[in-house]
Homo-oligomer: A and B are copies of this chain.
Amino acid sequence: MIELGPTRYGKARIRLVKVVRLPDRHVVRDLTVAVALEGDFAAAHTDGDQSLVVPTDTMKNTVYALAKDGLTGSIEAFGLTLGHHFLGFEQVERATISLQEHAWAPIATNGRPAPDAFIRQGDLTRTAVVSVGRDDATVEAGIEGLTVMKTAKSSFAGFPRDRYTTLKETQDRIMATKVAAAWRYADGGAGVDFDAAFDRVRGTMLTAFAEHFSPAVQTSIWIIGKAVLEAEPAIDTIHFALPNLHHWTYDLSPFGLENDREIFVATEEPHGLIEATVRRSA
């Protein structure tokens, strides 16, 4: 017998910009939103019956319409608003809202921020995944595209060697990565100021990244993850997926030149990829 397993469906890459026109200045909100629903949708698959299938076009309209009055704070809050809205359809058991926010800062002109001109900040994207079910809600926040580098306090040594090992041990290497991190708030984020928490987590992560000695990317994840959990009681777990963006010392010896950790080839292919979760124990 053949049966239908788990399903979900929705709309992805909904690009939404909201301009908030305050008396003295504007604020730009720039979001990419995805909606995914789970629930009583088997008949759409097996019987071609769309009578319960909220069109993904309706989801898109809803995101724009609810943004007018509902996007007034954090993306986490807007995700909760959207999630609860879609639970208004009784066939929906779970609504998952994924959001990215692309930051724009006022352009500085003569030392003052322009009220109505902005520059997109390319150094990170803030993310959130809000999942609302009939009996629960989870709020995950995160960072994408935060590319950082340590030019000191990074080593890699003491690893096992087999017949396929040619890597030399190093006490001083470049460590570079593009941080993708996501953390979950306890209790569905009840009572959390998501904007303030995001800023603090970002700051904690950067400071820990800068200050620690890294014997391996694995250790860095643990140190940074622990720093975040220690600083933010509202977070109960944090996940990292860190590529190791290798910078290889270029061999200048054929040219009679010494290269003492000075000239590197930056590569992205292949790269190491280290994933781990740091969490509070039960």
Contact = CB atoms under 8 A, between A and B. Distances in A.
A230 interface: yes
B255 A50 contact: no
Contacts of A197: none
Interface in A139-163: 145-153, 156-163
Contacts of A250: 64
Contact of A273 (B9, B108, B117, B148): B9
Interface string A40-53: 01001111111111
Contacts of A196: none
A266 B254 CA distance: 24
A61 B207 contact: no
A186 interface: no
Nearest to A272: B56
Interface of A: 1-21, 26, 28, 30, 34, 36, 41, 44-58, 60-62, 64-65, 67-68, 89, 104, 107-110, 114-124, 145-153, 156-167, 174, 206-207, 209-211, 215-219, 221-222, 225-226, 229-230, 237, 239, 243-244, 247, 250, 252, 254-257, 259, 261-281
25 contacts: A3-B281, A11-B271, A12-B273, A13-B269, A15-B265, A16-B264, A17-B263, A17-B266, A18-B262, A18-B264, A36-B275, A45-B218, A45-B222, A54-B159, A55-B159, A56-B244, A58-B161, A68-B259, A107-B210, A108-B206, A117-B151, A119-B206, A121-B122, A122-B122, A123-B123
